[in-house]
Amino acid sequence: MLSPQNPISSTLIFEAKETEMSQKRKNSNKKQKIKVISLFSGCGGMDLGFTGGFEFLGKKYTKNPFDIIWANDFNEAACRTYAKNIGSHIHHGDIWEMINANKIPENADVVIGGFPCQDISVNGKGAGVDGKRSGLYRAMVEVVSRTKPKVFVAENVKGLLMKHNEESLRRVLTDFSALGYEVSFQLYHAADYGVPQTRERVIIVGTLPSVPKFEPPKATHSKEKHITAFEAINDLANVDEDESFNHVWSRANISGEQGNRRLIANRPGYTIRAECHGNIQFHYDLPRRISMREAARFQSFPDDFTFESKLRETERQVGNAVPPVLAWHVAQSVKKILK
Residue 276 annotated in active site: no
| pTM, full prediction | 0.87
- Asked if the model's pLDDT at residue 313 lies above 80, the reply is yes
Look at 245 and 122; give whichever has higher pLDDT: 245
CATH superfamily of 33-217+322-338: Vaccinia Virus protein VP39 (3.40.50.150)
The active-site residue, picked from 43, 79, 117, 276, is: 117
> Where do the domains of the chain lie?
33-217+322-338
The contacts of residue 265 (CB under 8 Å, 6+ apart) are: 228, 229, 230, 284, 285
- Asked if the model's pLDDT at residue 280 lies above 70, the reply is yes
Cα 111 from Cα 95, distance rounded (Å) = 14
pLDDT band of residue 13 (cuts 50, 70, 90) is: very low
- Asked if the model's pLDDT at residue 125 lies above 70, the reply is no
pLDDT at 134: 44
